[in-house]
Amino acid sequence: MGDRVLHPAKPEWGTGVVISAAPARQDGRVCQRLQIRFDREGLKTISTACVDLRPVGAESSAIAELEPVTQEAAERSLGDLPDAATDPFAAPGARLKATLSQYRYGSSAGDLIAWATDRTGLADPLTLFSRHDLESAFERWKRTLDGHLKKLVRECKDMAPAELAPIVNGAPDAAREALKRVNRGR
């Protein structure tokens, strides 16, 4: 207990501290059920059978070797779309799925911090940016995302409905609304 960890699929949660650990069995596997208090998400119960947590600290060379993010690099990264959404060598359906997943961010304070954390890699983006800076950057990024989605929809026009439907149905509500806006604008 007291170990500091990161959830690899939820970096926006920040660093977590293990509060308690109990032996467990899940799907026939021996594991641990951990209670972890995350900086930006609060208390979570996580099974080690489902999540491969990453240690934080001196013993974790991958994290210890990270170079600090500069203000300039962080500002640039706030405007970037993820590579999975823009990779010209990826199939249009894969790029569409990655693009639609970006609509999971809203304009609430928590979503804004999660978005900035994902974009910059900073544990606390407010160390480099004011909330106003993040709000302005988020609005610019959303316009970039919408423009990218519009181009991508044109590329996906030849996709079979059976291939397209699961991508759209699995997208966040805001993504489906964006698709409606794009389709109305045609």
pLDDT digits (tens, 9 = 90+) for 4-36: 898 988 888 888 899 989 998 888 889 899 999
Residue 8: closest CA among 42, 67, 50: 50
From the CA atom positions of the chain, what is the Rg in Å?
19
Is pTM beyond 0.75? Reply is: no
Most confident segment among 22-31, 50-59, 86-95: 86-95
Q: State residue 69's pLDDT score.
A: 63
